[in-house]
Amino acid sequence: MLNETERIRNNPKSPSKGILWQFITVHRIAFAYTLFFGVIANVFTILIPISISKYYSILFETNSNRAFILDVFPGNWVNSLPNFLWFFLGLIVCWMFFSFLQRFNTGILGEKFVRSIRESLFAHQMTVQMTSYDSTGFGKYLLRYSGDMTSIRNFLTVGIIRFIIDLLLVFLAFIAMFWINWMLSFIVLGGIVLIYLTVILINKTLYKVTLTNRNRKSGLLSFVSSRLPLVLTIKGFNRQTVEVNNFNVRSRKIYKMGVRFQWVYNLVGVIVPGMLYLTLFAILITVYYYKRSAVNLHMEHLLGFILLFITVLPVFRRLIRVSSIWKVGEISFEKLQSVFNLKKDMNAVDAPNFRYKRGNIEFKNVTFAYSDDTGNVLDDFSLSLEGSRVNMVRQSSGLPKSTLIKLIMGIYSPLIGSIKIDGQKVNRVNPKSLKRRVSILSEDFPLLGETVFEASAYNTSEVNRAQLQVLLDDIQKGLPEETKLTLEYKIGERGRKLTEHQRQIVFCLRCFMTNKPIILIENFSRYSSNPAFNSICSTLKSYAQKNKTIVLFESIHTNILDELNPMIYELP
């Protein structure tokens, strides 16, 4: 069975259909009894206003030629007022019970639906190629987890389940109303059709306004998420006014579109009930005409009809406005589809596992760019690095160190050329098996976790904790006790609570803990001012003695790493 990601990607014209059908199929039993509870609740919804006309008949001892009301009740048992009151109370209790079951199960189905979409969305975003994020940023995707999830939930719960139940209720209501008075029923039916056509015309404008408004809100979220992490830079370079003005420009555009949205949305909100009340007005005029024309119309019939119409007024409103729910939901599905259509990393299931031999790394005629809109970062680049030893790649300026690391790990894919490790193309092997053999020491890969242990450990086992503690003690050997980190030390978001030297220690801890055969290091010379540098070098030297493949990417000429006896590659 296709998962949610594949369903949306395979239905570009209507991404909602495939995923909704799959969800309903999987949860067909829960869906069926939710509709069943709704139908039973609808029956009691119809019986309550009709029973009031029965109450009127009993109270004032009126009789009609058409005993339609008596036919829906059990014999003559409710013809006495005390018995009727008990019967009416039973109707209310039954309506409350089945309405709760229907609402509760609808809500649960909505939560399950959103959960399946949310989890599929996040899992997919974890496999999206990094170049997509590099070119567009991350903030624009935040709205997918908030407003879009609400719209998608409403699409199922209101636009599908509630819509079906409401249709059944209206069907039952029209049967009762036509049985009471066919002329008044045709007036109601004509009013409903007229209102529906009017709302369809207005919804075309509402769709365009909603789409533009959501795009601008998504852009504003992206702007805020890109600026808040840089608030120190903004303050340091006195850019508060500039950034506030940039924000206000975007905010004003959203406000103007929001005003237009509110105008259209609330116009629908007024037209629907207004025209329904006009339909009621037409009913009253018709009744007045009946009275003037001496047409025989029983009061209990008229009372039952009007009460029934008033009861289903909210249902009529929901049915007429449900197209708005569909439109907004389709917009959210289209937004999700744009995310699901982003290029993914290679499918790990079909690719062969990476097999480590010596760790020989080869770039051959590699050309790479982050996107079509940017120039080439690498152009016909070639480089061969010997495995099972220390290598240093050095260039005075312009060396895309973190990009080279990401290319070696298969995070980026070259436009032209190939990157091989031990003769295996990195973009043709199982990416997980490759990453199990490669460790990174780079500040371009932020710390993830709330404590030192979480940021540097790959699992939370006690054995892993003990090994990590030994490594941390070795790296911090000789440091003052008051400056030493502990495994439970709170590092803050991406290590913001750490000093620069402490952050470097955690980066080293994360890199060395895995004991992988290939180690890629960016700007190691920056660690030379760290009080723990000698201990870090000793740890790195011990790895070199184990014939691990170590690649240092440096931008400056330095002699501090000579004791590692690196093979130096000077790039032009």
Q: What is the pLDDT of residues 350-360, one digit of tens each?
A: 788 899 999 99
Q: What is the mean pLDDT of residues 288-316?
A: 74
For residue 342, what are the contacts with CB-CB under 8 A and spacing of at least 6? 124, 128, 129, 132
Q: What is the mean pLDDT of residues 165-184?
A: 85
Structure confidence at residue 101 (pLDDT): 95
For residue 250, what are the contacts with CB-CB under 8 A and spacing of at least 6? 216, 219, 220, 223
Q: Which residue has the higher pLDDT, 319 or 163?
A: 163
H-helix or E-strand spanning residue 417: strand 416-421
Cβ atoms of residues 507 and 532 within 8 Å: no
Q: Which residue has the higher pLDDT, 54 or 187?
A: 187
Residue 426 has pLDDT above 80, yes or no: yes
Cβ atoms of residues 500 and 528 within 8 Å: no
CA distance 308 to 25: 35
Structure confidence at residue 70 (pLDDT): 44
CA distance 191 to 183: 13
Residue 2 has pLDDT above 50, yes or no: no
Place of tokens 């029973």: 51
Across the chain, mean pLDDT equals 81
Place of tokens 């409350």: 96
Which of 256-270, 435-449, 473-487 shows the lowest mean pLDDT across its residues? 256-270
DSSP 447: -
Structure confidence at residue 65 (pLDDT): 41
The band of 558, judged by pLDDT with boundaries at 50, 70 and 90, is low
Cβ atoms of residues 511 and 544 within 8 Å: no
Structure confidence at residue 12 (pLDDT): 47
Q: Nearest CA to 335 among 215, 160, 157? A: 215
Q: Of the ranges 196-200, 263-267, 526-530, 564-568, which is most confident? A: 526-530
3-state secondary structure of 461: coil
CA distance 498 to 490: 9
3-state secondary structure of 395: coil
Half-sphere exposure of 493 (CA within 13 A, CB side): 1
For residue 539, what are the contacts with CB-CB under 8 A and spacing of at least 6? 471, 474, 475, 508, 512
Place of tokens 């999830």: 149
The band of 143, judged by pLDDT with boundaries at 50, 70 and 90, is low
The band of 369, judged by pLDDT with boundaries at 50, 70 and 90, is confident
Q: What is the pLDDT of residues 123-138, one digit of tens each?
A: 877 777 776 666 665 5
Q: Which residue has the higher pLDDT, 154 or 328?
A: 154
Assign 3-class secondary structure to 297-340: CCHHHHHHHHHHHHHHHHHHHHHHHHHHHHHHHHHHHHHHHHHH
Q: What is the pLDDT of residues 485-519, one digit of tens each?
A: 999 999 888 888 899 999 999 999 999 888 889 99
Structure confidence at residue 33 (pLDDT): 93
Structure confidence at residue 294 (pLDDT): 62
Q: What are phi and psi of 113, to 5 degrees?
A: -65, -50
Structure confidence at residue 133 (pLDDT): 66
Structure confidence at residue 134 (pLDDT): 63
Residue 396 has pLDDT above 80, yes or no: no
Structure confidence at residue 97 (pLDDT): 95
Structure confidence at residue 367 (pLDDT): 92
Q: Which domains does the chain have, with CATH numbers?
A: 4-340 (1.20.1560.10), 361-570 (3.40.50.300)
CA distance 511 to 475: 12
Structure confidence at residue 517 (pLDDT): 92
Percent of the chain with pLDDT over 70: 86
Q: Which residue has the higher pLDDT, 160 or 373?
A: 160
CA distance 152 to 144: 10
Interhelix angle 299-340/81-125, nearest 10 degrees: 10
Which of 204-213, 434-443, 447-456, 525-534 shows the lowest mean pLDDT across its residues? 204-213
Q: What is the mean pLDDT of residues 546-563?
A: 79
